[in-house]
Structure 1
Amino acid sequence: MRTIIIVVIAGIIAAAVFMLIKNNRTPEHLGVDNGMLASLPSTPNAVSSQVESEHRGYIEPFSLQNGTISLEDLRAIVQADEQAEIVAQDERYMHAVYSSNVFKFKDDVEFYVNEEENKIDVRSAARVGYSDMDVNRKRIESIRKAYEAKQ
């Protein structure tokens, strides 16, 4: 019985260390490649405007009012959130990392200005875990509400 308890505790510690390492490592596949943000993981903890509308992870893109002004508006909204840190940005792309208050779980949020289609594509995904309890969807919709109020 004692051996089983030790094995279970060791397994829990190993899983926690793995999640901690993965949570603190920026995914290598982020960014824009030929106008596309990264694909969604198979887990239900992410949303993207670049998947089929029937997909469970689909979320509407943001409307593009004026490319530079729109992305600047989004930057201001993200910067105002104490849970967010912008880690990469240029004139058409922004990557921010959001950290949860208690456990510091990290989510990667990306915006890509697609001028050809008059929209701003968005992707938001948890780094670890299976389900995010719709946190990424709610975050993007909250940002959308603030963005639309500025337009």
Structure 2
Amino acid sequence: MRIIVIVVIAGIIAAAAFMVIKNNRTPEHLGAENGSLAPLPSTPNAVSSQADTEHRGYIEPFTLQNGTESLENIKAIIRADEQAEIVSADDRYVHAVYASNVFKFKDDVEFYVNESENSIDVRSAARVGYSDMDVNRKRIEAIREAYQSKRE
């Protein structure tokens, strides 16, 4: 019985260590390549405006308002959020990381200016876990609301 308890505890510690390492490592597949953000994972913990509209993770892109000013508005919204940090940005792309309050689970949020479609594509995905209980969708919709109010 004692051996079983030790094995179970060791397994829990190993799983927790794996999650901590994965949570603190920036995924390699992020960024916009040839106008495309990374595809969604198979888990229901991400949303993207570049997903197929029939996909459960599809979310509407933002409307491009004033070229580079649009992205500056999004960056200002992100900077105002204590849970967020912009890790890379240029005149067409923003990558921010959001960390949850309690366990510091990280989500990668990306915005890409798609001038040909007059839109800003968005992708938001959890680094660890299976389900995010719609946190990424709610976050993007809150950013969208703030972004639209800056335009009014």
Q: Fold-level match, TM-score > 0.5?
A: yes
SS at 1:123's partner residue?
strand
Cα deviations by residue, 1:105-151 (Å, 9 ceiling, x for unpaired): 00000000000110000000000000001000000000000000011
**Percentage of matched positions with identical amino acids:** 80
In the other structure, the counterpart of 1:73 is 73
SS at 1:124's partner residue?
strand
Cα deviations by residue, 1:58-86 (Å, 9 ceiling, x for unpaired): 00000001111100000000000000000
Cα deviations by residue, 1:87-121 (Å, 9 ceiling, x for unpaired): 00000000000000110000000000000110000
Deviation at 1:33, TM superposition (A): 0.6
SS at 1:138's partner residue?
helix
Query: Unpaired segments of 5 or more residues in structure 2?
Result: none
Letter in 2 for 1:94: V
Equivalent residue pairs, number: 151
Letter in 2 for 1:50: Q
In the other structure, the counterpart of 2:38 is 38
Deviation at 1:2, TM superposition (A): 1.0
Letter in 2 for 1:49: S
In the other structure, the counterpart of 1:4 is 4
- TM-score, scaled relative to structure 2: 0.98
Query: Unpaired segments of 5 or more residues in structure 1?
Result: none
CA distance in structure 2 between the aligned counterparts of 1:65 and 1:129, rounded to whole angstroms? 35
1:16 aligns with 2:16: yes
Q: Kindly report which structure 2 residues correspond to 1:100-119, keeping only aligned pairs within 5 A, or say none.
A: 100-119=100-119
In the other structure, the counterpart of 1:144 is 144
- TM-score, scaled relative to structure 1: 0.99
CA distance in structure 2 between the aligned counterparts of 1:65 and 1:89, rounded to whole angstroms? 18
CA distance in structure 2 between the aligned counterparts of 1:101 and 1:81, rounded to whole angstroms? 12
Letter in 2 for 1:3: I
Cα deviations by residue, 1:26-49 (Å, 9 ceiling, x for unpaired): 000000111000011100000000
SS at 2:120's partner residue?
strand
Letter in 1 for 2:22: K
Letter in 2 for 1:34: N
CA distance in structure 1 between the aligned counterparts of 2:26 and 2:64, rounded to whole angstroms? 28
Runs of 4+ in structure 1 off by over 6 angstroms are none
The alignment yields a C-alpha RMSD, in angstroms, of 0.4
Letter in 1 for 2:36: M
